[in-house]
Amino acid sequence: MSPSPLPEKMSPTEMRATVGLASIYGLRMLGMFIILPVFAFYAEDLPGGSNYTLVGIALGAYGLTQAILQIPFGWLSDRFGRKPVIYGGLILFAIGSFIAASASDIYGVIFGRIIQGAGAISAAIMALAADLTREEHRTKAMAAIGMTIGATFALSLVVAPALNRLIGVPGIFIMTGVLALLAMAVVSRIVPDPAISRFHSDTEASAGRFHNVLRNGELLRLDFGVFALHAVLMALWLVVPLSLRTAGLAADQHWQVYLPVLLLSMVLVVPAIIYGEKKAKLKQVFVASVAVLLVSQALLAYMFNSLWGTTAALLVFFAAFNLLEATLPSLISKIAPVGAKGTAIGVYSSVQFLGTFVGASVGGYLYGNHGSSALFAFSGALLMLWLMFAVTMKAPAAVRTRMYHVREMDTGKASGLSRQLAALPGVHEALVLASEGVAYLKVDMRGFDEQGVAQLLGGEA
């Protein structure tokens, strides 16, 4: 079978799948993020809420169960089907939300957040997206789903203070639980059923590839980076809302700081991303961003309880944070072996959620027992260690991953085709997986002979 020309647009089915799954992903993450700017205030009136270690655990508890269960839920979706696992995860999330809403003390909120995180459907959603999209459009679908994380986070910071004033944190928990149940209708009515569900190396973790991923020093540097990034982010939510209130800004007006900070930080990020990708200076931009993040911690510590000082420090922080959030997944894709990309992303995502738990828990302990200076010192130490790892990392090759459908063949023929593809100009790495019917190529777009790939694959018809 000769590969057909790449379509310019997704099919209606692929669009439905992408939009539907992105909305489900976004609704679920909204439930995780939306209490961050307001929970410290709510905890003050809860029995046990004066213990900041417990407040931190309540904020980050979902990250622990998410980190533990995300990859296993992906495997369960291979065995029992994507949609049943997603339904189960959404039900768990809704139950956790309702438990947290009805909690009479901080321990009940912690239990609810643990159950929320147990609905770990991220890997199952990505696997279903891979089932429902063709190889040439899969990257776009994954990017669209991934973008919902940033959009949901920004939305959470802006609307949470107003929602807290209108319905309170228990009402916010109820709202997110109801939204999770409504998301089940989206899965049923909007997201198509896949004709075939199978394993996808680019989106799913393989137990047989963990060894290679966990021995790759460059990937481990990035894993530590996302751990540190989200640990610092979660630690901040224990002190920044209180700092703004102490500076004289009422809690329901905090959006007046968050909205302009987020919008301006996003504008600042775009030129840096373009420069890093176009000029193959991704490492330099990456290292500079980690350094800027470290500077933001010093500014936050120095300007604590100053409204304008905290606002300026938050702008510096989120400019670096947004840039790193955008570049870290790109670096994972560039560095991971083509056949282990899904495994590398699975480990990366799990470590990210572990960082949210550790950052919130340790940050809560330090703030409650030693004050804000200790919390900022903890964050600064994490970022200093990350900066050392970033400076000494190898500059990633300026490559992109391409996927092509291939006809059914045995493993011997697939190995031979892999070698032929790897020998083409501009191809850094190639792997044909007969079981998936896909050829994965890591290519340098400046010297890539895509016509040669088409001819070679066409010759296999």
* Residues 174-220 pLDDT 10s: 999 999 999 999 999 999 888 888 888 888 888 888 998 999 999 99
- From 173, 204, 235, give the residue that closes a domain: 204
- Run of H or E residues at 243: helix 240-246
CA distance 221 to 232: 16
Give domain status of residue 30, yes or no.
Answer: yes
33 and 107 in a common domain: yes
Give domain status of residue 291, yes or no.
Answer: yes
300 and 224 in a common domain: yes
Task: Please give the residue that has the higher pLDDT: either 438 or 316.
Answer: 316
pLDDT reported for residue 459: 59
- From 204, 239, 254, give the residue that closes a domain: 204
CA distance 409 to 88: 36
**Cβ–Cβ under 8 Å, residues 436 and 201:** yes
Is residue 426 over pLDDT 80?
A: yes
Give domain status of residue 307, yes or no.
Answer: yes
pLDDT reported for residue 445: 66
Confidence class for position 382, pLDDT limits 50, 70, 90? very high
417 and 297 in a common domain: no
433 and 294 in a common domain: no
CATH of the domain at 35: 1.20.1250.20
pLDDT reported for residue 414: 84
pLDDT reported for residue 460: 53
Give domain status of residue 1, yes or no.
Answer: no
Q: Which residues pair with 432 in a beta bridge?
A: 439
Residue 219, Cβ neighbours under 10 Å: how many? 22
Tokens of 265: 């930080």
Q: What is the pLDDT of residues 268-321, one digit of tens each?
A: 888 888 887 777 778 888 999 999 999 999 999 998 888 999 999 999 999 999
181 and 156 in a common domain: yes
Domain holding 269, by residue range, is 216-397
Is residue 3 over pLDDT 70?
A: no
**Cβ–Cβ under 8 Å, residues 297 and 383:** yes
Burial of 330 (0-12, 13-18, 19+ CB in 10 A): middle
Q: Report the chain's mean pLDDT, rounded to a whole number.
A: 88
CA distance 417 to 414: 5
185 and 39 in a common domain: yes
Give domain status of residue 210, yes or no.
Answer: no
Stretch 4-20: mean pLDDT: 74
31 and 135 in a common domain: yes
Give domain status of residue 226, yes or no.
Answer: yes
Sign of the C-alpha dihedral computed for residues 409, 414, 416 and 420 taken in this order: positive
Give domain status of residue 3, yes or no.
Answer: no
pLDDT reported for residue 451: 79
161 and 182 in a common domain: yes
pLDDT reported for residue 412: 85
404 and 383 in a common domain: no
CA distance 244 to 231: 21
Stretch 369-392: mean pLDDT: 95
pLDDT reported for residue 330: 83
The tally of domains found in the chain comes to 3
Give domain status of residue 429, yes or no.
Answer: yes
CATH of the domain at 411: 3.30.70.100
446 and 369 in a common domain: no
Stretch 46-75: mean pLDDT: 94
- From 370, 397, 424, give the residue that closes a domain: 397
Q: What is the pLDDT of residues 319-335, one digit of tens each?
A: 999 999 888 888 888 88
Task: Please give the residue that has the higher pLDDT: either 410 or 105.
Answer: 105
Task: Please give the residue that has the higher pLDDT: either 149 or 246.
Answer: 246
164 and 107 in a common domain: yes
374 and 227 in a common domain: yes
Instruction: Tell me the C-alpha to C-alpha distance, in Å, between residue 314 and each of 121, 163, 295, 308, 416.
Output: 31, 22, 11, 10, 53
